[in-house]
Every structure is written in C-alpha cells, then in structure tokens.
A and B are shown apart, each in its own frame.
Chain A
Amino acid sequence: MMRRWNKSNRWNKSNLWGATPAIAMSTAILVLIAGLAIAYSGAQSNSQRQIDRATVQSQILASTVTAALAFNDRMAAEEYVSALRSDPEILNAAVYDAGGRKFADFSRLKELPVPERLAVSGTKIESNRVTIVTPVAEGPAHLGSVYLRATIDSPAQRLRRYGTIGMLSTMAAIVVAVLGIAHLTLTKANQDLERQSLELAAANQRLLQQIDEREKVEAALRQAQKMEAIGHLTGGVAHDFNNLLQIILASLDMLQRRSMHWNLAANAMRDFRRYLEAATVGGERAASLTRQLLAFARRQPLEPTKVDVNRLVAGMSELLRRTLGETIAVETVLAGGLWSTFADANQLESALVNLAVNARDAMAEGGRLTIETANSSLDENYVRTHDDLEPGQYVMIAVSDTGSGMTREVIAQAFEPFFTTKDIGRGTGLGLSQVYGFVKQSGGHIKIYSEPDRGTTVKLYLPRLVVASDEVQATGPEKQIPKGTRTETILVVEDEDEVRAFSSEMLRELGYGVMEAADGLAALNIIESVPSIQLLFTDIGLPNGLNGRQLAEEALKRRPELKVLFTSGYARHAVAHSGRLDAGVMLLGKPFTYGALAEKVRQVLNA
C-alpha cells in the first residue's frame, strides 16, 4: 500500500515536473499579454482622459462665454479665454462668433496660431494634440463657437510612460521563460544522467556476466587440465602395465597350449588347469582395467567406422535388459533420419554399457532407463564455455535414469578415474572415465545433467560423419582360430625383447614363418634381404630414430606389396591423428590374445 502510494506520488510529481516548462511558457505569455494590455489600455485611457478633459474645458468655455458673445463683449471673452492659459496642456483657445469670425483667442506658441475663420467643427485628434470645436448657444440661438487645442501624450510619450510597464512585464515574462527553459534543461540533464546511469548499470551487468562466464571457462579449463594431467599419469602407468600384462597373458597362453602335451597326473593336471584359469582370468581383468585406463587417457587405439547409432542401440537392447535386470525398464527413443557418426563401435558399446551399469546402481529400487538419440547442433555460444570442442553437427545419445541423481560436486568429479560413489568393491571408478576418454578421443563431447533425487541424464555428442568413408566392417568373431603356413613369413619388430619373444612364439604356433628385429633399421635390412617376408608386424614406438610408422613407409617404398600390421600400447604416436587411426591402417592393441593376433594377422594377409 505504502509502495503504491509512493509510486503514484512519484508519478504525479514527475508529471507535474514534466509539465513545468509548458506552465512556465504559458505563464510568461500570459504575463506578457496582461502587461501589454494594461500598458495599452493605460495609454489609451490616459489620452482619452486628456481628450475628455479638453472637451469639458471647451464646453465650460462655451457656456461661460455665451453672454460675452451675445453682447459682443470682446474683453470678457478674452478674459475667459485667457483663464485657460494657466493650463499648460492647452495650446490654443479661441472664441468665434456666429459668422465664424475670430472673436477672442490666445495662443501659447507663436508658430501655432488659431485660424482666423473657423470652418470646421467637432473633435479632431492628431498625433500629440487634440482640436475641439464646441458650438456656443443660448437657448435656441447659435451664438458662435469655441475652439480649443490641447496637447495630449504623443505616441512616443505614451510609449515612454507605458513602455515601462510593458518592459517590466516583458522582463517578468523573460524571467519566467528563462526559468522554464532552465527547468527544461535541468530535466533533460537529469534524463541524460539517468540514462547514463542505466547504461553504466547495464555495462556493469555485462561485465559481471563476462566475469562469470570467464570463471566458468577457467573452471572448465582447470578441469580439462586436471583430466589431462590425470590422463598422462594413468596413461603412462597403464602403458607399462600393458606390456607386463602382455608378457603374463602370453606366458599363460603358451603354458596352456604346451600343457596339452604334458603327461601329468590327473590331480596335478586339474590343479594346474585351475590355477592357470584363475591367473588368466585375473590377467584378463587386469588387461580390461588397463584398457579402460587407456581409454580415459585417450591412448587406446580406436578403430572408428561409420556407425549407425540407432542400429547399434537397438542391437544392445537385449544385452542391456539382461544387464539391468527386471526391475528396470529399458526404453529407447530413436530419432528418424539420424546422422551417421564415425566412431569405434566397440568402444561406443562399452560406453553405453558403462552408463547403463551406473544407471542401474543409481536405481536400487528399480526405475526406467531411457536411451535417446537425436541430431544436434552445438553453436559457438555453447562451445565457448566448453573446453576443446568444435562447433558443428553432432549425433547426440542421451542415457537417462530415474535414479538418485548427483550433486554438483559429484558431477564435477564424476569423470575422474577411480572416483566412485559406490561401495568399496562394487565399482572400479573407471566406467565414466572410459566414457569420457572415448568421447573426447572421438572428437565429441559429454555432459551430465543431474540433480539429487531427480535422476541423471548423460549426453554424448559424437561428430557427424559427413563424408562417406570406406566401409570398414568388423567381421564377426570366428570360432575357429585361423592358422598360417610356413611360406607366409612375418617380420616381428619390437624393442622389448620379452614382448617380441612372445609375439614370435605365438605366430610360430599359428604356423607362420617368423623373423625378428629389435629396431627399425634392423627391420629394413631384413626386409631388403629376405624377399619372402609378406607381413610387417611392428610396434609403433621404436627406438633409434625410426618409429613403426616411418619404418612402414620405408618398407613400402621398397616392397609396395608388403602388408603392415601395427601394434601399440597406445596409438597416440605416429599412426593416429588425434589418437584415431587413418582408415585402412590396421592395428592390434596391446595386450592382445592369441586369438586376436591370429584373427588380425589372417585378416591383414588376406586383404
């Protein structure tokens, strides 16, 4: 109520304030008009009064002079006429007889005499004098006329006398007008000031926004740098682990193969198999973890192909239902006309499974998992506040759950490796890290939308595939391990002796002819001297100035028909651009299994 009163009061005030110049101008004009009118009427009434006075004097003279005229008493007439001399305003006074002849007169000024004969009658007003002729009569008899000439104020005198009033009112009007104008100016200045202050406030607001935005960007950058640092660390560790696991798993593999030919007691054999199995499973789990670490560090070798995300999601539905259990409904909302993307299908599947597992853990009481796909364009505006992201068209995959959600703090740390909110032993803390690393390495973007008790949505953005690439269809897994022949000679290049030894061992087991080299130069020598070599199987990271890729280039110059298969703990170096393989380049990620090696080598040789 109070506020409304204030508002209306202010409105009134400002309205009155705004009308002041108009009021001032009207007042000024009114004052001016009134002043001029007073001056004019004053001047008019004064001159009229002077005329009236002269007329009255003329009439008095006319009535007193009758006897003098009637009885021809010139002296008496002159006495009457002369009596008017005491009035300084009377210039001439004269009496004429009935015949118009001058009878008696007086003239104040020589240069202004009275006429000898009177012809006119009535009142005649000149600029600064008035001439009045009044008939002299007694009863019915016309005796003559009285002639009276008196000064009246000249226009200049009138102007002088009444101009003062006019001038005063003009000055008053000017003062009022000046006040009005000053008020107008003040009002305008006030408005300018108000506008400037508004602009200042707006500028300040913009500045605050910019600061806020910058803080967000900086936070995003810090987060990215942190992730990058963690990635370097975990990547390095994982790489070394990978080589060790390669040795362990290869050894277990060989041990298992060889043991078939051993003649052990049934008991011993069963124990041996059991421990061997346990070691292999442990090693494989370790390898799996290492892969996830590498994925997070964006150092896993990716094999991107053209991916129809809708088909991939549809194909996973059954797997997801089994993974999530019966208490959780799985729904998919797949956009029609969805663009293709260029990504590693296996890694994308892993990512979706990881997300689904997280969702399941967030929905202990059951709920609904929704996978949604859509075409999406990320504009400059969005991209600016997100590190390392190009504006453009993306295929969006949103995985939503109806679970417990996350706090802001949890979201901030969710992608960090080994960060987990799950009970000890339930999660590795690597799930979201894998997803993050994969998406980033694929040139995409990931975003978590979540609030406690409101569920979680994780959105993956993978770049749209614009140019159709060579179809690199992953062949279905073959049950039968493909073997080789002695005539198919493979050159294994690996700087780490143990890894090279195991690789060679496995290839020989597969039936291939195998030669070995520890670095690029040695490998080139062998290629030149042994023409039977059909496949170069080389590690990408090689010492002594010639890495795997350079080696392959040199070798292909000498032997264009030579087949090449790379292997690497991570594909960061040389082979891949931004960690992604060029189309057509074959790579076997470490650690690899016997089966995987057999399959890949066969694939390359057959290509």
Chain B
Amino acid sequence: MTGPGARRCALAVAVWLLALPAGMAKAADPNPLELAVKAAFIYKFQFYVSWPPRAYTAPDSPFKLCIVGDDPFGNLIDQAVSGQRVGGRTIAVARLSSVSVDDHCQMLYLGTEDPRLARQELSAVDGQPVLTITDAISDDSAKGMINFVIADDRVRFEIDDAAAARDGLPISSKLLSVALSVRPLP
C-alpha cells in the first residue's frame, strides 16, 4: 500500500516542476475561441464513445471528467457540460493534480505539453476504460487516445483507435471520420 502513496508524491513534484513552462505557454497563447472549441469538443466526444459498465463504481455514479494539471478552460468546461447527462448520468468535473486508478475517471484531459509528464499520467490509467485526451503532444508515445492538434488554424484531433480498443472503449466511426488522423486497430 506504500506504492501508490509514494507515486502520488512524485507526481505532485512533477506538476510543480511543470507549472512554470505551462504558465508561460498559457500566457503566450491565450486564444479563447480555441479553448471554447476544445471545451465543446471534450464534451461532445462522449457521444461517440461507449463505456463498459465496469468503468463505473456504481450504477448511479456520475460521469467523471477529470482535468489533470493546468486547467486552461476556466469555467468553459463547466458551461459546456452544465445540465447535460451522459447515458442518464450526471456529469462531474474533477480537477486533479495527478490521476490514479482510484479516481475512477471516465474521461481524462491532460493539459500538459510535456511528453514525459503526459506519459507518466497516461501510464497511471493504462488498461483502465478511461478516454484519455492530450493536447498538442507531438511525441507519438505520449499521445492520449485523442490528441488535439491545430491544423489550418482549426482545432482538429488525432485518434488512437487501437489504444482505445485495447482499454475497452470502442469509438464510433463517425468520430473517426472527422479525425485528422487515426491509428487504426491492429
């Protein structure tokens, strides 16, 4: 039982270390439209993904959207999900410094652009039915199942369909059809 506690400490240190460059980046690219679009996208992704029952702790537990690290959206996410439901479940937005299996997130947004940090967080929920979303990660090994990119001044996203399937999350072909690129099933 000491393992997880030590790792949480390590993560906290990492987040702290990353805080500065993240804040710099945020200051350099404060495009509110881009953020609003991303917030809306994050909300809409759940339309095209199916979660297995084991993803939830109880039949009435809420759909948990976890934002780890810097939260660039402010209340944009809260506005987007306000009053909405996913499969009859209410939506809860959790802002975490670090994520673990015990957080029972259904969707995980990683605000960091640091591949190392991202890899670390992703590995924490590896094998769990958690839809992982990364933002502007260029290193393939650090990308979540969905990775936002900016292409032609538009917010687009890449999908790693293989990773999602491996963790028990089938993604609708509709969503795949609008993705910038898809890493298909093996």
CB contacts (< 8 Å) of B156 on chain A: these are 73
Q: Are A71 and B85 in contact (CB under 8 A)?
A: no
Nearest 8 CB-CB pairings of A with B: A67-B174, A73-B178, A138-B47, A67-B178, A70-B44, A76-B178, A71-B178, A67-B175
- Which residues of chain A have C-beta atoms less than 8 A from B155's C-beta? 72
B182 at the interface (CB under 8 A from A): no
Cβ B47 vs Cβ A72 within 8 A: no
Extra pairs beyond A70-B44, A71-B44 (9, CB < 8 Å): A67-B175, A70-B41, A72-B37, A72-B154, A73-B156, A76-B177, A138-B44, A140-B85, A141-B84
Alpha-carbon gap, A67 to B178, bound state (A): 6
Selected contact of B174 from candidates A66, A72, A140, CB within 8 Å: A66
> Which residues of chain A are within 8 angstroms of B37 by Cβ–Cβ distance?
72
Of the A-B pairs whose beta carbons lie under 8 Å apart in the complex, a sample of 28, sorted by A's number, is A66-B174, A67-B48, A67-B172, A67-B174, A67-B177, A68-B178, A70-B41, A70-B44, A70-B47, A71-B41, A71-B44, A71-B157, A71-B178, A72-B37, A72-B154, A72-B155, A73-B156, A73-B178, A76-B177, A76-B178, A138-B44, A138-B47, A138-B48, A139-B47, A140-B84, A141-B44, A141-B47, A141-B84
In the complex, what distance in Å separates the CA atom of A76 from the CA atom of B41? 16
Q: Mark A68-111, 1 if CB is under 8 A from B, else 0.
A: 10111100100000000000000000000000000000000000
In the complex, residue of chain B having the shortest beta-carbon distance to the beta carbon of A66: B174
> Chain A 119-153 against B: per-residue CB contact (8 Å), 1 yes, 0 no?
00000000000000000001111000000000000
Contacts of B47 in A (CB 8 A): 66, 70, 138-139, 141
Report the separation of the CA atoms of residues A64 and B177 in the bound assembly, to the nearest whole angstrom: 10
Chain B contacts for A67, CB-based, 8 A: 48, 172, 174-175, 177-178
Within 8 A of A (CB), among B159-186: 172, 174-175, 177-178
Q: Per-residue CB proximity of B128-167 to A under 8 Å, as 1/0?
A: 0000000000000000000000000011110000000000
Question: CA separation between A139 and B172, bound complex, in Å?
Answer: 13
Q: What is the distance, in angstroms, from B175's C-beta to the closest C-beta of chain A?
A: 5
Contacting residues, chain A, for B175 (C-beta < 8 A): 67, 71
Q: Which of A47-79 contact B (CB under 8 A)?
A: 64, 66-68, 70-73, 76
Find chain B residues with CB under 8 A from A138 CB.
44, 47-48
Complex Cα distance, B37 from A66, in Å, reads 16
Interface size class for chain A?
A: 10 to 19
Among B32-88, those with CB < 8 Å from A are: 37, 41, 44, 47-48, 84-85
Q: Which B residues are CB-close (under 8 A) to A140?
A: 84-85
**Cα distance A123–B125 when bound, in Å?**
49
- Find residues 503-540 in chain A having any chain B CB closer than 8 Å to their own CB: none
Q: How many residues of B contact A (CB 8 A)?
A: 16
Q: Which residues of B are found within 8 Å of A64, using beta-carbon distances?
A: 174
Q: Which residues of B contact A66 (CB under 8 A)?
A: 47, 174
Among B44, B157, B172, B175, the most chain A Cβ lie within 10 Å of the Cβ of: B44
Please, how many angstroms separate the alpha-carbon atoms of A475 and B22 in the complex? Answer: 186
B40 CB, min distance to chain A CBs, angstroms: 8
Query: In the docked arrangement, what's the CA distance between A104 and B95, Å?
Result: 37
Q: Give chain A residues whose Cβ lies under 8 Å from the Cβ of B41.
A: 70-71
| Distance A66 CA – B154 CA, assembled complex (angstroms) | 18
Measured between beta carbons, the chain A residues less than 8 angstroms from B178 are 67-68, 70-71, 73, 76
- Within the complex, what minimum Cβ distance (angstroms) separates B106 from chain A? 15
In the bound complex, what is the Cα–Cα distance between A76 and B173 (angstroms)? 13
Q: How far is the CA of A138 from the CA of B47 in the complex (A)?
A: 7
Complex CA gap A67/B175 in Å reads 6
Q: Which residue of A lies closest to B84 (CB)?
A: A140
Neighbouring B residues of A72 by C-beta, 8 Å: 37, 154-155
A138 to B48, CA, bound (A): 9
Residues in B neighbouring A71, C-beta threshold 8 A: 41, 44, 157, 175, 178
How distant is the Cα of A553 from the Cα of B157 in the complex, in angstroms? 168
Closest to B152 in A: A75
Bound-state CA distance A141–B91 (Å) is 15
Query: C-beta contact mask, A302-314 vs B, less than 8 Å → 1, else 0?
Result: 0000000000000
Tell which of B44, B156, B178 has the most Cβ of chain A within 10 Å: B178
CB distance from A357 to the nearest CB of B (A): 144
Bound-state CA distance A487–B6 (Å) is 214
Give CA–CA (A140, B91) in the complex, Å: 14
In the complex, the answer to whether B44 meets A68 with C-beta atoms within 8 Å is no
Taking the nearest CB of chain B, how far is it from the CB of A68, in angstroms? 5
Bound complex: CA A67 to CA B156 (Å)? 12
With known contacts A138-B47, A139-B47, A141-B47, A68–B177 Cβ distance under 8 A: yes
Report chain A residues within 8 Å CB of B174.
64, 66-67
Q: How far is the CB of B81 from chain A (nearest CB, A)?
A: 11
Contacts of B177 in A (CB 8 A): 67-68, 76
How far is the CB of B162 from the nearest CB of chain A, in Å?
19
A139–B81 CA distance with the chains assembled, in angstroms? 13
Question: Closest chain A residue to B172 by CB distance?
Answer: A67
Please indicate the chain B residues that have their CB under 8 angstroms from the CB of A70 in the complex: 41, 44, 47, 178
Most buried by B among A67, A68, A71, A141: A71
CB of B50 to closest CB in A, whole Å: 12
**Interchain nearest-CB distance for B158 vs A (Å):** 12
Inter-chain contacts of A68 with B (CB < 8 A)? 177-178
Query: What B residues does A141 contact at CB under 8 A?
Result: 44, 47, 84
A residues less than 8 Å from B157 (CB atoms): 71
Distance in angstroms between the alpha carbons of A68 and B175 in the assembled complex: 8
Mask, A447-467, CB within 8 Å of B = 1, is 000000000000000000000
| Distance in angstroms between the alpha carbons of A140 and B86 in the assembled complex | 9
| Residues of chain A from 342 to 375 with CB closer than 8 A to chain B in the complex | none
Question: Nearest CB to that of B157 among chain A residues?
Answer: A71
CA distance A233 to B178 in the complex (A): 149
- Kindly identify, within residues 269 to 317 of chain A, every residue whose CB is under 8 Å from any CB belonging to chain B: none
Complex Cα–Cα for A72 and B150 (A): 13
Most chain-A CB neighbours within 10 Å: which of B48, B157, B172? B48
User: How near does chain B come to A436, taking the closest CB pair, in angstroms?
Assistant: 137
- Tell me the nearest residue of chain A to B176, going by C-beta: A67
Closest to A67 in B: B174
Which partner residue on chain A sits nearest B87 by CB separation? A139
The complex places the Cα of A546 from the Cα of B41 at a distance, in Å, of 166
Considering only CB atoms, which chain A residue lies closest to B155 in the complex?
A: A72
